[in-house]
Chains A and B, each alone.
Chain A
Amino acid sequence: MTQRDEFTTGEREVLEAWTVPPPPRDLAARVLARARTRPRRRTPVWLALAAGLLLAGGLAWLLAPARALQGQLVAQGRTTQTIGSRAVVVAEDGASLRWRRAGGALGVEQQLGNVFYRVQPGSEPFEVRTAVGSVRVLGTCFRLEVMEMKASRAGLTGATVGAAAATLLLVTVYEGKVLTASPRGTLEVVAGESARLRPGHAPEAVGESRGSLAHAGGASPGQSGSGQDYAPTTVEGLLRQNQQLQAQKQQLESTLEVLQNQLKDASSHSSRHKILGLDQKELEAMARRCELRWDLPPVGTSPPQVDGKTARALGLSSAERSTINKVFNDFNSKLMQDLRRLYVEVTGDAKTAEGLSPWAMMSEIEDKSPRAEIKRVFQQVSRERAGLATPGDAAAAPTVERLYRLLTTAGDRVEQALGAEVGPDLARRYREQRGGFGQYPPCSR
């Protein structure tokens, strides 16, 4: 038996009986509108920036490949530099560093200054060495400040640590984590934290990630426990601090923007199916999109009853359950009558209407209505809901408009009917239980 004739005549007969309703006439338009309005996964600003920087770095790599393997930089003003294939650094004025790839690892030596690093995740180690210690990363975003100190303020005896005696390293991590190490020990620093490396000491946590801020504010000794050791005392130092603060401000503003966008996206996504309790702003936004949402209690040729799960969840007594079933049945009968009337208006076929499901009738009415008319109905009704338009004469409205008015008010009518029987509180709880009567996700166009 070939694949094509594998079904017997009887099976084909059975399969042929399983018909499906036609797609909505404006399915294509709905899908295209949904594709346009769907909240996009925005590329975070920092990612875009990083991508831009990496792209720039990639171009630099192509143009000057030798620089990626080995190089050095003494920044004259703020300078962006790509290092290897994974890192982009922004060195502030006066910062000095050099780098070299050896044995599959990229090593950076930062002699002095304030340098921001963004290192993409990768398999090869990435380490920055300074006179007082090192920082090892696997993919992160951090800033290193190597500062010259006055030996007297550092409280060091110049003979003890040589070159290290005049330096202090401040590590501030924005994303990911790094491992700081000095001859006296190691310390893991995660996003939002800072650490200080001083000659002769193990790395120390600086507290609330305010290393740079403490540093900046440290112009008045004693304000910060760490600041007094390296507070700038010259105009040049203050200017450099100012630059650092500006850079940090930009970083924080970028982070804030990313978080705000994420919040907006999350809130937009979660409210996509919201039906109940829409506020004025949401209704106006929906009106701008000509969007209607509604819920519909269970309907059908043999309507389902309150299911056991819902009854248990709401703690319904058997009497309440019966009452609710009766309300649903009454609603169902009335809705079916109304739908049949509308269907006959459109098709003139009363006999067929008796045997059709509500969904088939709705689809048929939609299908036989001009697309422009449907769009106008959505526009009008959504504007009415937002209080931006006044309702016209509903009785004289076209059939499809009466269909949508029938459907979009069904939830409220049933809640009202239920409220009269079992009390408004229970009626509302029943409706709210799944974010709308019985239909999830709720109907929306």
Chain B
Amino acid sequence: MQKSGPLAKSGNRDRRPACNNADMDELDAITLGRARSGDAAALSALMRTYGGSVHALSCRMLAGCPHAVVEDLCQEALVKVIQGIHRFDPGGPARLSTWVLTVATRTLIDHLRRERRHPESELPQEEPSSRHASPEQVATGRELARQVERAMAALPDEQRAVLVLRAYHDLDYEEIATMLGLELGTVKSRLGRARLALRQVLARRQGAA
């Protein structure tokens, strides 16, 4: 399983780009220039550099959605990156990685707004951990992962977006605010509410222990 963002352990997956936005190697200027002019090899390099990050973002933003939907929208977001790369200004204030995540986040949020998930989504229902998780699984954190995913999936989309961008992609508040078109205070308050949900998971876990 892939970890990404500030929480990722470096080198845990070979061939995969790091997803930490701050530490990510940006595409070099020459390749970027070629990508902007539509060069296929350069676009492929663009995808290899940022595809993993967008994939991780998609998985978390679309928590609870079927795998096929996640894969489809991840690809859709990356197609938009390709189609819009000529509009990216290398001399502008945004890093390419931030711009890519902006395009992807907006694509995913647009989808979520259009397709408000039905309450009876395909996310597994909450069940006592003893029924489906062995002590070993609990020990390895798999059950915890499910709990976190459930808790995150239950968050409003915008709150989840803020948390994911901050926690896993290491974007600054200002970058998130710009990306989502929010006030700085709104970003902070949404992050605060998302952290509250996290703490509830933590409390349940400690209670169970």
Contacts and interface: CB of A to CB of B under 8 A. Distances in A.
Contacts of B134: 355
A319 interface: no
A309 interface: yes
A364 to B, nearest CB: 9
Given A19-B1, A35-B79, A360-B1, A438 B56 contact: no
Interface string A14-45: 11111111111001111110110010000000
A10 interface: yes
Interface stretch (B24-32, B41-49, B93-101): B41-49
Nearest to A304: B122
Contact of B7 (A15, A21, A34): A15
B60 A359 contact: no
Interface stretch (A121-129, A261-269, A294-302): A294-302
Interface in B155-203: 166-168, 170, 172-173, 195, 198-199, 201-202
Contacts of B69: 439-441
B142 interface: yes
Contacts of B79: 31, 34-35, 38
Contacts of B124: 300-302, 304
Given A23-B51, A27-B55, A302-B127, A18 B82 contact: no
A406 to B, nearest CB: 15
Given A296-B68, A441-B68, A20 B202 contact: no
Contact of B78 (A3, A7, A21, A31): A31
Contact of B82 (A22, A35, A304): A35
A31 B1 contact: no
Contacts of A304: 122, 124
A156 B208 CA distance: 101
Given A7-B195, A18-B60, A296-B68, A32 B40 contact: yes
A308 interface: yes
B145 A18 contact: yes
Interface in B126-148: 127, 132, 134, 136-137, 140-142, 144-145, 148
Contact of A308 (B44, B82, B120): B120
A75 to B, nearest CB: 42
A12 interface: yes
B147 to A, nearest CB: 8
A304 B52 CA distance: 28
A439 B75 contact: no
Contacts of B48: 28
A118 to B, nearest CB: 29
A236 interface: no
A426 to B, nearest CB: 20
Q: Contact residue range for chain B?
A: 35 or more
Interface string B56-80: 1001100000111101101100110
Q: Contact residue range for chain A?
A: 35 or more
B127 A11 contact: no
B41 to A, nearest CB: 10
A302 B199 contact: no
A81 B60 CA distance: 58
Contacts of B136: 355
Given A19-B3, A28-B51, A30-B75, A14 B198 contact: yes
B137 A14 contact: no
A10 B152 CA distance: 16
Contacts of A34: 75, 79
A32 B83 CA distance: 10
Contact of A438 (B82, B122, B144): B122
Contacts of A176: none
A266 to B, nearest CB: 19
B60 A298 contact: no
Interface string A216-251: 000000000000000000000000000000000000
B102 interface: no
Given A31-B47, A31-B82, A35-B83, A17 B202 contact: no
Contact of B148 (A18, A27, A359, A442): A18
Contacts of B198: 11, 14-15
Interface in A107-145: none
Contacts of B74: 23, 27
Which one of B74, B120, B166 has the greatest number of beta carbons of chain A within 10 Å?
B120
Interface in B107-133: 118, 120, 122, 124-125, 127, 132
A333 to B, nearest CB: 14
B202 A27 contact: no
Interface in A421-442: 438-442
A35 to B, nearest CB: 5
Given A22-B16, A31-B78, A309-B118, A443 B149 contact: no
B34 interface: no
B189 to A, nearest CB: 14
A279 interface: no
A27 B2 contact: no
A298 B199 CA distance: 31
Nearest to B172: A3
A307 interface: yes
A11 B122 contact: no
B13 interface: yes
A32 B68 contact: no
Contact of B202 (A3, A11, A38, A307): A11
Contact of B1 (A21, A440, A443): A21
Q: 5 smallest A-B Cβ distances: which pairs?
A: A28-B47, A23-B55, A20-B59, A19-B1, A307-B120
13 contacts: A15-B168, A18-B148, A18-B149, A23-B52, A23-B74, A27-B52, A29-B44, A31-B51, A32-B40, A38-B79, A440-B68, A440-B69, A443-B71
Interface of A: 3-4, 7, 10-24, 27-32, 34-35, 38, 296, 298, 300-302, 304, 307-309, 355, 359-360, 362, 438-444
